[in-house]
Structure 1
């Protein structure tokens, strides 16, 4: 069997399986985090413009997070994925350099809502989307990430898997959905090394691609089933001819969905270890910030390449600037959503500190990437003192996870940024008791506007 067929065989087997308590807990966490991110990002400039541009399609039956307008299943998937990715708050599978939630859950939710699926059917679809896509992302990286945005590429495949589950595709149809989603995989790194709005659109394209390829497969549209491993296929063209056996080795045995990184900073994940390190040192520096002469950051090559903008002037660029996020963390004590308001970005004290941040590659740290995300910080003061801290993992990684309480606090902060707090609390209560929620409409009614 081809890889697409083997993934399809695994997926269809999940219909007959009951979710374990560990799986159910992991799925509740990723769904909670996705909803918080999508609610927070629902009014982002790129999301508002995209909604308006798609409204010309006319009304249909599927809605958006935080919106009563209804356009259609593909538009709902696309817009909710863009919203979830817009503020750089969404989850990560670190070994795959991949944000699975934005495209996978957006696609699953759109199809589930349109088909009247149960909560459990939604959760199983999300599980399958995560388990297949995280394995593909892992075997093609880190080489793939040099030029490609994994969320835009592999996100298409994960979204197709989730959508195909909810459409109740048979095994053959499921495999064809994956095959056609793969050939439309796209998203270039250059798009988010500037102030462009394109990066979250990659997640939107992936969710949309997953939905329409699954819908088409359900109607008999076929794809090249060896598109992943073929001589001119995805792996050869975009993944450095990976060892695909690794993608299948523990499929169905190890739950990757339980090993997700949840962000606690609203910026590029490549900065997190360094941000965590300076926050550890900050209590010793509160009376000495003006005496900082130099901040040396030792990190991996990918982090250096992606966060090199030393003087960003807008929120999009600031989220990918090591200099800005470290200076802001030192002065304000956090790098949350408010860190990317114009007042914070233009804070004179922060701007004065930014040129003192110097980033370089550490060979040992680089060699452990992407499985381990470490950083070392050395801060030199004008009085001769030198403060150092080595951060072995990011807070939020599986090795140092956010607790349920910390994840719930993140959800409330994210959701309450765009909802009355009582509605955010009501949503949280439903998520805590997800097994008792009668249907998706009941889960989502607290976040619908109108």
Structure 2
């Protein structure tokens, strides 16, 4: 039974000698998660969730990004939503999945609530990533037709992380996964409007994983064939899942070292086109005013989500290949400021959008989800034509962010929330996580809020 194999791996990992590279990449994942969490914590839906769940705040041992105390489940849920709000969170490419939002949100809440050490916290993160990314691979690509993997397989990752940190035995771990399978959810219709629902998928997954683990620790049981059973998770949410992928390389080939860290603040499906256009602009020294036509050939599964030539509001703009590429061409990047009202209404950006033609390429579509590529062709007003094939995205394992680049990303996103000194101090703590007696990180946010 698949759950038994996953539990056997998780129990071994509680005491295994982890390779230094794996520990390093787990810390990178946590740093990247905090970089996405902090700006997401001061906007909706996170601020509204603090109001909605106020009775679960200002008590408990877990903490929100702001330093505010919370119960384990409330912290997991609110931080899960916050870390998926500004579209800067990590990606496991082969599963089309953002693991950090559900897994690290659950792991940190469980670790803070239980007083776990930094090392134990990282072990929980690793187990959550390794199990959920594999489940995601097993059900892709058919799962992605309707379902949001961050909400679905993220629930399993959150349960695995929380159960590991709370000290579950083999039976308890199996029942945590078995129970959470019934609550794995998240529909892609949420992507197609200005609604706040999509980031809530990450929060719900983190919460569902935590309560499934907590309940299993007290003896609550689940159907142990929930994942691969006849009417279980896989058959209900995918076509012909390949369960061999769910255990391949467990404990040997660590997926956490192959995670993509975002270099743009928008949907990852837009990235190869953005990178390709910026490459041609840098190489040939033209401006948006010189452009007559841009053809973006990319993979259909992504284009189905991001083909929106008239986005209404910041959320739709983050999921518009036309808007994000036009903004990159006009302003040189797609960061948080790309979605301010003045940028959304920028006349140059809106004029450039009309010059962009996205198309689904059959060959590039075949490479999904393992490759996210784009063929970019630009024609200038003077008749010159340029083309570039972008095989990967900056931030993918083949073109990774260096530690220095990750530090820069963290500083850019964290400092406006915490202040420069507090952000730098937090970053130092995060790089030393495995040495910490606990993970009650000092963000300095409470002091800043009081001073403000």
Q: TM-score when scaled to structure 1?
A: 0.97
Partner-residue secondary structure (3-state), 2:53: helix
| Cα distance in 1 for residues equivalent to 2:242 and 2:222 | 22
The 5 Å alignment of 1:25-36 reads 25-36=24-35
| Cα distance in 2 for residues equivalent to 1:24 and 1:277 | 32
| Cα distance in 2 for residues equivalent to 1:103 and 1:430 | 22
| Cα distance in 1 for residues equivalent to 2:94 and 2:283 | 33
The 5 Å alignment of 1:7-18 reads 7-18=6-17
Query: Could you tell me how far 1:71 is from its partner in structure 2?
Result: 3.2
| Cα distance in 2 for residues equivalent to 1:272 and 1:58 | 37
| Cα distance in 1 for residues equivalent to 2:324 and 2:223 | 44
| Cα distance in 1 for residues equivalent to 2:287 and 2:160 | 53
- Report if the CA contact (8 A) 2:154-2:205 is conserved: yes
Query: Could you tell me how far 1:246 is from its partner in structure 2?
Result: 2.1
Partner-residue secondary structure (3-state), 2:54: helix
- In terms of mean alpha carbon deviation, does 309-318 or 330-339 score higher? 309-318
| Cα distance in 2 for residues equivalent to 1:212 and 1:66 | 20
- The equivalent residue for 1:126 is 125
- The equivalent residue for 1:257 is 256
| Cα distance in 2 for residues equivalent to 1:438 and 1:172 | 28
The 5 Å alignment of 1:319-334 reads 319-334=318-333
Query: Could you tell me how far 1:354 is from its partner in structure 2?
Result: 0.6
Partner-residue secondary structure (3-state), 1:107: helix
Is 1:373 matched up with 2:367? no
- The equivalent residue for 1:352 is 351
- The equivalent residue for 1:316 is 315
- The equivalent residue for 1:362 is 361
| Cα distance in 1 for residues equivalent to 2:124 and 2:116 | 10
| Cα distance in 2 for residues equivalent to 1:445 and 1:316 | 28
| Cα distance in 2 for residues equivalent to 1:122 and 1:35 | 15
| Cα distance in 2 for residues equivalent to 1:433 and 1:186 | 35
Partner-residue secondary structure (3-state), 1:379: strand
- The equivalent residue for 2:230 is 231
CA distance 1:226–1:73, change in 2 (3 Å): same
| Cα distance in 1 for residues equivalent to 2:72 and 2:429 | 24
CA distance 1:173–1:433, change in 2 (3 Å): closer
- The equivalent residue for 1:199 is 198
Query: Could you tell me how far 1:364 is from its partner in structure 2?
Result: 1.4
- The equivalent residue for 1:297 is 296
- Report if the CA contact (8 A) 1:38-1:65 is conserved: no
| Cα distance in 2 for residues equivalent to 1:284 and 1:23 | 36
- The equivalent residue for 1:444 is 442
Query: Could you tell me how far 1:417 is from its partner in structure 2?
Result: 2.5
> Could you say what the CA RMSD is over the residues aligned between the two structures, in angstroms?
1.4
Partner-residue secondary structure (3-state), 2:411: helix
- The equivalent residue for 2:161 is 162
- The equivalent residue for 1:403 is 402
- The equivalent residue for 1:108 is 107
Query: Could you tell me how far 1:179 is from its partner in structure 2?
Result: 0.6
* Cα deviation digits, residues 59-92 of structure 1 (max 9, x gap): 4214433324333111100001111100000000
Query: Could you tell me how far 1:313 is from its partner in structure 2?
Result: 2.9
- Report if the CA contact (8 A) 1:64-1:79 is conserved: no
- The equivalent residue for 1:146 is 145
Equivalent residue pairs, number: 448
- The equivalent residue for 2:220 is 221
Query: Could you tell me how far 1:430 is from its partner in structure 2?
Result: 1.9
| Cα distance in 1 for residues equivalent to 2:61 and 2:234 | 35
* Cα deviation digits, residues 129-178 of structure 1 (max 9, x gap): 00000000011001101100000000000000001011111101100000
Partner-residue secondary structure (3-state), 2:297: strand
Query: Could you tell me how far 1:382 is from its partner in structure 2?
Result: 2.0
The 5 Å alignment of 1:47-196 reads 47-57=46-56, 59-196=58-195
Partner-residue secondary structure (3-state), 1:265: coil
The 5 Å alignment of 1:257-276 reads 257-276=256-275
- Report if the CA contact (8 A) 2:57-2:68 is conserved: no
| Cα distance in 2 for residues equivalent to 1:217 and 1:36 | 32
Query: Could you tell me how far 1:37 is from its partner in structure 2?
Result: 0.9
Query: Could you tell me how far 1:379 is from its partner in structure 2?
Result: 1.1
5+ residue gaps, structure 1, are none
- Report if the CA contact (8 A) 2:118-2:435 is conserved: no
| Cα distance in 2 for residues equivalent to 1:290 and 1:371 | 35
Is 1:387 matched up with 2:410? no
- In terms of mean alpha carbon deviation, does 8-17 or 322-331 score higher? 8-17
Partner-residue secondary structure (3-state), 1:253: coil
Query: Could you tell me how far 1:445 is from its partner in structure 2?
Result: 4.3
- Report if the CA contact (8 A) 1:125-1:166 is conserved: yes
* Cα deviation digits, residues 270-321 of structure 1 (max 9, x gap): 0000000011112356554223221110000012111111111311010000
| Cα distance in 1 for residues equivalent to 2:149 and 2:102 | 11
